[in-house]
Amino acid sequence: MVTQVTNFGRNGLSDWLIQRVTAVVLMAYVLVITAFLLANPNIQYEQWLQLFDATWMRVFSIAAILSLAAHAWIGMWCVATDYLIEHVLRIKAGDAVASKANLLRWVFQAVCAAVIFYYVVWGIEVLWV
């Protein structure tokens, strides 16, 4: 029986739940933007400015940016832990690369974390500054 759905420890169930919730937030954001574009086919800069000056849209955009960051982090973490491991790298790239699997995985995750962090900071700066 599943009893830890809202536990934020690193387990498959919490990752799955975060992926689904963030996907719903991103889908809702895309639908709102699409509806706005369909309602305003000849959109001008002033209309975009008016939309993104609204506090609800700024908050919704921040939620979408944070959702994208969480979604991307879990996805990249899964890719790293599934494919940047010794036996996979030994088959694909040879023994020399496979012996460095932990280092490669760490570097990959550090680069992903840095890019995601930069994206979040940049997104907040664009919306609130």
Rounded Cα gap, residues 94 and 36, in angstroms: 51
Split into its structural domains, the chain has a count of 1
Instruction: Say if 78 falls within a structural domain.
Output: yes
Rounded Cα gap, residues 86 and 94, in angstroms: 9
CATH number at residue 65: 1.20.1300.10
User: Over the stretch 43-92, which tens digit does the pLDDT of each residue have?
Assistant: 999 999 999 999 999 999 999 999 999 999 999 988 888 777 765 555 55
Distances (CA, A) of 21 to 90, 93, 111: 36, 36, 25
User: Over the stretch 1-32, which tens digit does the pLDDT of each residue have?
Assistant: 445 444 445 678 888 899 999 999 999 999 99
Q: What angle do CA 113, 71, 83 make, to 5 degrees?
A: 65
Mean per-residue pLDDT, 32-41: 94
pTM over 0.85: no
Instruction: Say if 3 falls within a structural domain.
Output: no
Instruction: Say if 6 falls within a structural domain.
Output: no
Instruction: Say if 84 falls within a structural domain.
Output: yes
**DSSP 3-state of 44:** coil
Domain coverage including residue 115: 12-128
Instruction: Say if 1 falls within a structural domain.
Output: no
Q: Residue 107 CB: number of other CB atoms within 10 A? A: 13
Q: Is 61 exposed, middle or buried (0-12, 13-18, 19+ CB in 10 A)?
A: buried
